Structure 1
Amino acid sequence: MESQPQRGKLKIFLGYADGVGKTYAMLEAARRRKAEGVDVVAAWLKVDKGTETEALAAGLESIPPRRVEADQPDEEMDLEAVLNRKPQLALVDDLAHRNAPGSRHARRYQDVLELLEAGVNVYTTMNVQHLESLTDVVRQITGQEVEETVPDGVVDEADELEMVDLPPEELLERLQRGGLGEAADHISARIGELAALRQMALRETAERVDNDMRDFMATRSIHGPWAAAERVMVCISAHPIGDRLIRSGRRLAEALRAEWFVVFVETPRHLQMPPGERAMLLRYLRIAEEMGAQPITLTGESVVEALVEFARQQNITRIIIGKPRRSRWLELVRGSRVDRLLERCGSTDVFVISDELPPPQPGWWRGVRFRAPVRHYFYSLGIAILVTLVSLWLQRWFEPTHLVMLFLGGIVISGAYLGRGPGVVSALVSGAAFVSLLDHPAPLLTPRDLRHLVTLGGMMAAGLFAGTLTGWLRAQVRAARQREIQTSALSALSRDLTTAIHLDEMLKAVLHHVSQIFHCQAALLLPEVGQLKVR
């Protein structure tokens, strides 16, 4: 059985305009490979007569182009001849080229993909403005529509990306000298446009290098960060300090010329977030996006663990986090996320911004939230009274140490089914009833009787534990159900958009799924002749 050939490797020489020297750089690299004994063939080159590039191409084997139709002057790369020749390395100029009608493939990048599948390594060239995701930005800069594009996936899958750079001033001088044929037609390009295109090419190359570095770190299990490029992460929550954190993050990112993220971690507890806090959080994320940050919402059981994991994945070098002023009691009970983050973030720099507002006074009860309805408290009181009456009737046959299990059962039921607050109320009433009515020798609860205090403390702990654990489990179930709904909705929307052919079908699918997700009527406004019209 014939084995499948190993896929070839793709190297792209990226520039920002014609004339920067992409083809020349590709030929230089090809001649070095040929000197190393590699079988190199020029599958498609387009060079001007009498130039240095033509002299550099001399001596390389070339596959003659083919005419799509005998009576037409259009010439294209002879893909079949290249496949039959099957060199180790093929040189293919102008990756974004649109082939003439009647060719084997509509686009040249498709020819290159077939060569790669056949096991042929390919060197090719392209300008950054032909990258499909950048066409809108390029149109804003140059005022021209880019017709020949290359999908981002082709560039992302390239094994190597090399930036061919030349300052815009030198490029214009080269174009004005007229030594590059068709490139001289672009002499009217302004320095500002070329500078913007150059920045796009440099950014694309830098992002590629950064992605390669992060893939290397992940493969080698290197936690990092490696401060090859600065990245700033701002951690926010639904707290008034969020505005200061975002502004500080923007100033730091601008000073470092760094990419920055504004991150919020949604835990199961946030599913019960009050509407006012949720509105504040959405406003923070919107402000962050307007300031140039990437707003990110993470999900996880632990805020610190989610932040540390994201920082490692994105190679974050600077973290900004707020430290609200809280009472000592809350610090002791809940701990400090800032301290835990400092312990886990390793060599990443952490900037802590304190809250300007004083801690709430007085204090210990403000951090405790009982969200159960009022009727649940009456239910828990009724359960405690019922258990007490039953215990009074049974005390003639059972010892108080046996009857305490009935009280604990009532407390657990109140905490599990009614909530943490009702569980605490049930524990207080049950504990007082037990030690004052059943556990004789002391008719009343007194601080001197340590045994009664231990009993009451155990009942309180049982109520708190049952209520807290049940609330946590319910929050986990709600979070899992919400994630399932979102995943199903996205999957259904993706399926409908994939099968849709016309724009109207796509818009109808979007409106249908938005209405289902938010349980409301939805309308889509699209610009038409300078006005927004409902579709």
Structure 2
Amino acid sequence: MPRNRPPREKMDKPLDSDQKPIKQHLLVCISSNTTLSNRLIRKGHDMANTLQADWDVIHIQRPAYHRYTNKIKDQMNKMMNLAQSYGAKTEEIFGSSIAEEIMNYTKKHNITTIIIGRPKKSWIHDVLFAPFSVTEGVLRYSDAIDVHVVGEIESTAREQKQERKPFSIYHYFYATAVVGLVSLVSYLLTDILDPTNIIMFYLLAVVTAAVLWGLWPAIFTAGLSVLTYDVLFVPPRFSITVADSLSIITFVVLFIVGIIISILITRARDSATAAHLGEQHLSTLYELSEDLTAAATVEDIAKALLENIEKHFEWKVSVLFVKAGKLHIIASSKEISLNEKQWAEATLCLKTGIDIGLKTSPFDNSGLQFLPINTVTENFGVLVIKPLKPDEMLTIEQDRVLHSFASLAALATSRVSR
């Protein structure tokens, strides 16, 4: 039966002129894959210019981020600086589930479009793990939000992400000793314990190795436990031969459970370390806020900044404030003296209200980092940081703490200047 065609005047009716177009807000999600992250930032920049939209760039720090190499952290810092130079708002977010944190940020900031990367993996990886990837997680929960997936042109060589701990053969000797002790106790209690109960003792050995010596010694302990359990407690004894096929299932389950326990304990340790670092951050800010609350003059504020930065970081500091329309050094470490070019950088930082220095300066690299001490309406001064190493760049965590220091100092200066 043919459908009734609506009248032409209704079809041609324009949209309600009172309806306002939706303001576009883009979100670019980057990772430690610097090649792909570079493409994502440039893609976001081009789309933001085309749509005349605001755009954010975020990086989700997982609990194991504290074990990443300094090279990876420096590269992430450069990616964030690149995004800021293009006009993006950048933010580091801590979380264990990347897709979940992305969607939480999206809802909180009214994001309309997500730009995310998909690294090039082997076909085996795609078959086994693609359904559990970050990209699939974002697509699954994006609902009405547009998602642009940017693929990697070619698979790049993966750099070592995490700092390698010095290899210690002693950890494996200790693990062997623990398995030997468990085997001895279990063998002496053979008449009392069932073989299934003995497995629990070996799992305890795996947990001990994971807590004391890390993931790989724990996996070694799991494998050695399976072998020892087979030799001592599975008929025929004192032989690797397995007469009962069901025992093979026991071996496989024991080994898999041992590995899972090792991974879970390693993740729990990473989460605890990350929480401790966050607590240190809050403690540092609390100490400074107490000193600034007691400050009655600009000189007191400068002194509080100097003492707190030198106390918590191995940097030299100089605090500059505006007096009579010019910048003056109010408090400074002995090792810092500004030359004419560095004064020009400080003045530029004050006027523009953006960070300058350490490879982001329009001048030649002076080896100093300049951070503005300002509020939305007023510029009060400049915080000058001198790292110990000439080529050292501030990590994202350090940069975040310094900006928090500068913001607290600006609020305190606004209070004492009234």
Does the alignment pair 1:235 with 2:29? yes
Does the alignment pair 1:275 with 2:70? yes
The residue that corresponds to 2:95 in the other structure is 300
The residue that corresponds to 1:38 in the other structure is none
Measured in 1, the distance between the counterparts of 2:228 and 2:104 equals 50
Measured in 1, the distance between the counterparts of 2:164 and 2:317 equals 39
Q: CA deviation at 1:399?
A: 4.9
Instruction: Tell me the matched-pair count.
Output: 305
Instruction: Note closer, same or farther for the CA distance 1:250–1:436 as it changes in structure 2 (3 Å cut).
Output: same
- Per-residue Cα deviation, 1:185-210 (whole angstroms, up to 9, x for no partner): xxxxxxxxxxxxxxxxxxxxxxxxxx
User: Which sections of structure 2, spanning at least 5 residues, go unmatched?
Assistant: 1-19, 321-326, 329-338, 344-383, 386-418
Relative contact order higher in (CA < 8 Å, ≥ 6 apart): 2
The residue that corresponds to 1:487 in the other structure is 282
Alignment of 1:204-243 (within 5 A): 228-240=22-34, 241-243=36-38
The residue that corresponds to 2:105 in the other structure is 310
Measured in 2, the distance between the counterparts of 1:342 and 1:447 equals 48
The residue that corresponds to 1:109 in the other structure is none
- Cα pair 1:372 1:422 within 8 Å, conserved: no
Measured in 2, the distance between the counterparts of 1:233 and 1:360 equals 27
Measured in 2, the distance between the counterparts of 1:456 and 1:367 equals 33
Look at both structures and tell me which one has the larger radius of gyration over its CA atoms. 1
- Cα pair 1:420 1:466 within 8 Å, conserved: no
Q: CA deviation at 1:340?
A: 0.3
The residue that corresponds to 2:174 in the other structure is 379
- Cα pair 1:233 1:263 within 8 Å, conserved: yes
Measured in 2, the distance between the counterparts of 1:397 and 1:301 equals 44
Measured in 2, the distance between the counterparts of 1:340 and 1:302 equals 10
The residue that corresponds to 1:523 in the other structure is 317
Does the alignment pair 1:342 with 2:136? no
- Per-residue Cα deviation, 1:125-149 (whole angstroms, up to 9, x for no partner): xxxxxxxxxxxxxxxxxxxxxxxxx
- The partner residue of 2:268 within 443, 453, 473 is 473
- Cα pair 1:411 1:459 within 8 Å, conserved: no
- Per-residue Cα deviation, 1:239-279 (whole angstroms, up to 9, x for no partner): 12111111111111111111111101122122222222111
Measured in 1, the distance between the counterparts of 2:70 and 2:143 equals 36
The residue that corresponds to 2:235 in the other structure is 440
Instruction: Note closer, same or farther for the CA distance 1:524–1:330 as it changes in structure 2 (3 Å cut).
Output: farther
- Cα pair 1:416 1:466 within 8 Å, conserved: no
- The partner residue of 2:221 within 426, 430, 434 is 426
Query: TM-score if structure 1 supplies the norm length?
Result: 0.51
Query: TM-score if structure 2 supplies the norm length?
Result: 0.65
User: Which sections of structure 1, spanning at least 5 residues, go unmatched?
Assistant: 1-225
Measured in 2, the distance between the counterparts of 1:531 and 1:504 equals 25
The residue that corresponds to 2:149 in the other structure is 352
- Per-residue Cα deviation, 1:109-130 (whole angstroms, up to 9, x for no partner): xxxxxxxxxxxxxxxxxxxxxx
- Cα pair 2:302 2:319 within 8 Å, conserved: no
Q: CA deviation at 1:425?
A: 0.8
Q: Considering only aligned residues, what root-mean-square deviation do their CA atoms show, in Å?
A: 3.2
Q: CA deviation at 1:348?
A: 1.1
Q: CA deviation at 1:302?
A: 1.6
- Cα pair 1:236 1:322 within 8 Å, conserved: yes
Letter in 1 for 2:252: G
The residue that corresponds to 2:206 in the other structure is 411
Identity of aligned residues (%): 26
